[in-house]
Amino acid sequence: MSGYVGDVVALARKDLLLELRARDTLPAMLLFVVSTLVVFHFALPQGAGDDAAYGLLWVALVFTALFGLARAWVPEREHAALDGLVLATGDRSAIWLAKTVAALAFLGAAEVVALPAFAVLFAPLDAAAVLGVVLASVGICVVGTLASAMAAAGRGREVILPLLVLPLSIPLVVGGVGASVSSEPRTYVAFLCLYDAVFAILSWASFEYVVTE
């Protein structure tokens, strides 16, 4: 495999392999999301109903994504590996796409645990809600990877990242909660698709400007 797709696959594989060997991010994300759900049980007053729980599920997912994204560029920052990647001959947007794929894989793995745990501990999830989670995960990884690269360029990156991602994730939460609780989830699913498309194109096109001097 060569060219653009080859670059993306090689870079994403590198991130997944690193995680497989070091196990820096995924176990922490899994523990975080389950701990958050347990905290939410105590935060919800008795008789709060399923709708409140669905809302809190989205808070848990957004914070878990942030947790993973905060570490997204750590391997590249160490030993200035990002400079090497930027200097390579390939298209720089491939770096962003590969990182998004890797972040999505981590978040997906956390959700594979979080969603059944939520269904057992709180309320059942239907197909529309799961589709909402999938689409919103794509959206948050798309913008989060770029925001994380921006935050990594400055001081206090761990503090800046949530500030950048949370306002951008509000439409995703709206779409996700709508897909979970509405009797007409189609509109919300379509909205999430629109969000993903708009911000994927924007992030893909602008990543080069974020990492080059």
Partner 1 sequence: MPARITLPTLSVISVALMAAAVTMIFFVAPEDADQGISQKIFYFHVPIALTAYVLFGLGAWKALRVLWTRGERYDLESYTAIHQGTIFGALTLITGAIWAKASWGVWWTWSSNQLVLFLVLFLFYCAYFMLRFSVEAGPRRERISAVYALFGVALIPVSFLAIRLASDFIHPTVFTREGPQMTGTMFGAFCVAWAAIVVLALVMYSVELAGKRTDAHLRELREALGR
User: Which residues lie near partner 1 (CB under 8 A)?
Assistant: 143, 146, 150-151, 153-157, 159-160, 163-164, 166-168, 170-171, 174-175, 177-178, 181-182, 187-188, 191, 194-195, 198-199, 202, 206, 209-210, 212-213
Q: In the bound complex, what is the minimum distance in angstroms from residue 35's beta carbon to partner 1? A: 26
CB atoms within 10 A of CB 84: 10
Nearer Cβ to partner 1 (2/212) = 212
Residue 168 sits at φ, ψ, to 5 deg, of -70, -25
Q: Which is nearer to partner 1, 124 or 156 (CB)?
A: 156
Across 61-205, the runs of DSSP E, i.e. the strands, are: none
Between CA 193 and CA 182 the distance in angstroms is 17
Burial class (CB within 10 angstroms; exposed 0-12, middle 13-18, buried 19+) of 147: buried
Residue 33 or 185: the one with the smaller Cβ distance to partner 1 is 185
Contacts of 72 (CB under 8 A, 6+ apart): 99, 102, 103, 144, 145, 148, 149
To the nearest whole angstrom, how small is the minimum distance from the Cβ of residue 70 to partner 1? Answer: 14
Query: E strand or H helix at 6, and its extent?
Result: helix 3-22
Minimum Å gap between C-beta 16 and partner 1 is 27
Q: Are 36 and 115 in contact (CB under 8 A)?
A: no
Nearest approach in angstroms of CB 159 to partner 1 is 8
User: Among residues 55 and 90, whose Cβ is nearest to partner 1?
Assistant: 55
CB 134 within 8 A of CB 175: no
Q: For partner 1, give the closer residue by CB, 10 or 208.
A: 208
Minimum CB separation of residue 3 from partner 1 in Å reads: 26
| Token pair recorded at residue 151 | 């935050």
Residue 196: CA count within 13 A, CB half-sphere = 19
- Nearest to partner 1 of 47, 154 (CB atom): 154
Q: In angstroms, what is the minimal distance from the CB of 198 to partner 1?
A: 6
